[in-house]
Structure 1
Amino acid sequence: MDASTLSEPVATDQEALQEFIDILWEYAPTIERDVAHLRNHPTERAVVGNLFRTLHNIKGDAALCKVEVGVAIVHPMESVLVRVRNGELPFTDAIAETILLTVDRLELAVERLSSGQTLDGLQLQLLIEGLEKLAAAKPSRLDACVAEVIEAVTGSRPVAVPLPVMVGETKRGPGDGSRSQAADDLLFFLTLANQFEMRSPRFEGRTMRILRLALETNQMAGDPIDPVQLEAAIYMHDIGMMFLPESVWLRASALTAAEQRIMRAHPGHAAGLLSRMGGWSAAAEMVAQHHEMPDGKGYPGGLKGAGICPGAKVLAIVDAFEAVMLKHAERGRKRSLLRAIAEINACDQQFAPEWIEPFNQVIRRAADTR
């Protein structure tokens, strides 16, 4: 397949495509397990062989299901593993991260094909070209080649560390009301956020993780957003879900179209609460708009670009980042900062480009301090 055509969706048989997506979903935990084992025992040829066969099966299934992009992405990664299996290359953490990134990017590609979206922004051509260079690299150039392909695709150097959780009090200012009243309100909002987290073990610690990322991204950009209003929006943005049936918002599996319509009501509930409290109109606007998208395909108002307030744009990015990390955790995956930020950066139509770079800088700084 010509790599230059990878930005154009190729899905001639939607039923076959869905079959391949289901197959890929089943294979992913096996790949994760074998990669995790090889990180600790890199010389076990039998496990390398298992990993190679899994990727070979994925490529074969992609061919059978006429998912050409799957063949194009997996083939060069398979070639890398042939060299590892033959003892020509060592199995390193860098190769492990490349395998996981390749599988993640394949999942993103087929999901977009399934929904009729473009593959622009996934950098598939750069990925394939980089993997081809890696498959032909000398052992002495291995880590350098991996760093080149990962940075070309994601914009970040290879890292695989969890984000530190924010500890302690958040700095607070006077906001729109008095200093003491703002502090009391924030404490109340935080109490509600903690109640939300208690509804599921999946949510534990998410509020502080999102808060740290949002405040630091804002700070990286020069604090154009009122930090106190942003803090309130972080605490309250998902509280509206608690007014919806738990069978909908606590479900880990995919939602039906009807359930998705129900879910779209949650920003309005939370924003309505904030707007009825004095001094929190800016936070209410952020909450109401945090599922809007620059291309106008978000909800509830279908706002575009400049019509979305900056706080909502930041909240959308950090909330999605947390969701990606959760997705990997639920599938038994070791959390990887690189893979999560790669997915966020691939969704170029979903997030405000002016906030992606400050967010990336925060992530890089977090990685450099570990």
Structure 2
Amino acid sequence: MQHQNGISKQNTKPRGTILLVDDDPAILFIISRFLQKHSYQTTSVTRAENALELVRTTNFDLVACDINMPGMNGLEFLNALKRVDPGLASVVITGSGSVTMAVKAMQSGALGFVTKPFTEEELLDSIETAIQQARLVRETTTFKLYAPMLEGASGALLRALEAKDQNTQGHSQRVADISQHLAHRLGLNQEEMVQIFFGAMFHDIGKIGIPDTILQKTEPLTPEEEQEIRKHTQIGAKIIGTVEKLAMAANVILHHHERYDGKGYPSGLGGEEIPIGSRIVAVVDTYQELISGHINNKAKTSEEALAEIRKVSGTQLDPKIVELFLEFLPQLDTR
């Protein structure tokens, strides 16, 4: 079954064209009406096989699909979609909000992950973000080089983590931006800078596998809880490591809580044994945690945070990267 829906008469130019794929006509109707209200043009189909045929003959800005469908399921559809139109943005709408399902959707190329029941704001945000990401990729001259990487490194898991742990909102993006800047200042090549950017962006993604009771606890953690939260580096590395082209980024994530003196975790690496990306992220992450109040629940001023950074330079943090960070801090938008 296929239905094509226009947009409101007040807005004759659509914001984008969206293909909706769900075996439930009622869901299709609700989503279509909502998107039409926001000036999107939609086409709705109930079978993934029919959707693929449409993609071959029609230009869409985004495809939003269910996971559990008869015949070809959502993950199979997404993998087939990559072969038909690898640059087309896609968002998954599913009743399963598990980490496993999110990882599978990411591996299949989804740029958004919306769990039923969802709010209109959540759906709209996911769709708009995915369309913007896909357009940016298409407009970038390095598309052919980085498309395989970008199709896996979506913001879907970050949004899921931010919903789980409010302290992470905006934190990952700031750490990623500043880490990439420092990597450039260190003279690293483009591939290394891209990998460090993604490693920094997803450095805390493993917290999605940590119980809410620990993440949201305001009192000091027990030794058992501390051991549990330390697992987030390994969980995060495992999640991002499923993306073939992000092996170095996964390693950045795994070791970003190592200490320069060898007393960190998970491997007890020290000095230059620690990957350069992990040493960069450690400095930036520590500063951002201090000024945001994530450490000891009290936000420090920039001056207070820098004093703390200097205290742990050479023990917790790489002194060369600390020196570079302090040198270029006035040029950086750290908040």
TM-score, normalised via structure 2 length: 0.53
Cα 1:331–1:290 shift into 2, 3 Å: closer
The question of 1:287 aligning with 2:233 is answered no
Contact 1:173 1:179 in 2 (8 A): no
Shift, 1:202, TM fit: 2.8
User: What SS class does the counterpart of residue 279 from structure 1 fall into?
Assistant: helix
* Deviation per residue, 1:12-66 (Å, 9 max, x gap): xxxxxxxxxxxxxxxxxxxxxxxxxxxxxxxxxxxxxxxxxxxxxxxxxxxxxxx
Which residue of structure 2 lines up, in the alignment, with residue 342 of structure 1? 307
Cα 1:362–1:291 shift into 2, 3 Å: same
The match for 1:271 among 224, 228, 237 is 237
Q: CA RMSD in A?
A: 3.0
Which residue of structure 2 lines up, in the alignment, with residue 210 of structure 1? 175
Which residue of structure 1 lines up, in the alignment, with residue 151 of structure 2? 184
Q: How many residues align?
A: 198
Determine the C-alpha separation between the residues in 1 that align with 2:295 and 2:267. Answer: 32
The question of 1:261 aligning with 2:230 is answered no
* Deviation per residue, 1:123-181 (Å, 9 max, x gap): xxxxxxxxxxxxxxxxxxxxxxxxxxxxxxxxxxxxxxxxxxxxx98998869x84222
Determine the C-alpha separation between the residues in 1 that align with 2:243 and 2:297. Answer: 40
Cα 1:267–1:173 shift into 2, 3 Å: farther
Determine the C-alpha separation between the residues in 1 that align with 2:310 and 2:324. Answer: 12
Which of the pair is proportionally richer in strand?
Answer: 2
Shift, 1:362, TM fit: 2.5
The residue type paired with residue 251 of structure 2 is E
User: What SS class does the counterpart of residue 164 from structure 2 fall into?
Assistant: coil
Which of the pair is proportionally richer in helix?
Answer: 1
Contact 2:255 2:275 in 1 (8 A): yes
* Deviation per residue, 1:218-264 (Å, 9 max, x gap): 12222357121112112222111111211112223311111111111
The residue type paired with residue 191 of structure 1 is A
* Identity within the alignment, %: 24
Contact 2:178 2:332 in 1 (8 A): no
Determine the C-alpha separation between the residues in 2 that align with 1:200 and 1:276. Answer: 23
The question of 1:358 aligning with 2:324 is answered yes
User: What SS class does the counterpart of residue 269 from structure 1 fall into?
Assistant: helix
The question of 1:201 aligning with 2:166 is answered yes
Which residue of structure 2 lines up, in the alignment, with residue 152 of structure 1? none
Determine the C-alpha separation between the residues in 1 that align with 2:214 and 2:185. Answer: 36
The question of 1:313 aligning with 2:279 is answered yes
Contact 2:289 2:295 in 1 (8 A): no
Which residue of structure 2 lines up, in the alignment, with residue 227 of structure 1? 193
Shift, 1:329, TM fit: 9.3
Contact 1:220 1:362 in 2 (8 A): no
The match for 2:262 among 292, 296, 300 is 296
Contact 1:192 1:235 in 2 (8 A): no
Contact 1:229 1:283 in 2 (8 A): yes
Cα 1:221–1:173 shift into 2, 3 Å: farther
Which residue of structure 2 lines up, in the alignment, with residue 3 of structure 1? none
Cα 1:203–1:337 shift into 2, 3 Å: same
Determine the C-alpha separation between the residues in 1 that align with 2:230 and 2:295. Answer: 25
Cα 1:331–1:270 shift into 2, 3 Å: closer
- 1 or 2 for the larger relative contact order (CA 8 Å, sep ≥6)? 1
* 1:44-193 aligned within 5 A: 178-186=145-153, 188=154, 190-193=155-158
Contact 1:210 1:234 in 2 (8 A): yes
Determine the C-alpha separation between the residues in 1 that align with 2:264 and 2:328. Answer: 25
Contact 1:197 1:206 in 2 (8 A): no
Determine the C-alpha separation between the residues in 2 that align with 1:264 and 1:194. Answer: 21
Structure 2, unpaired ranges of 5+: 1-131
Cα 1:200–1:173 shift into 2, 3 Å: farther
Determine the C-alpha separation between the residues in 1 that align with 2:247 and 2:254. Answer: 10
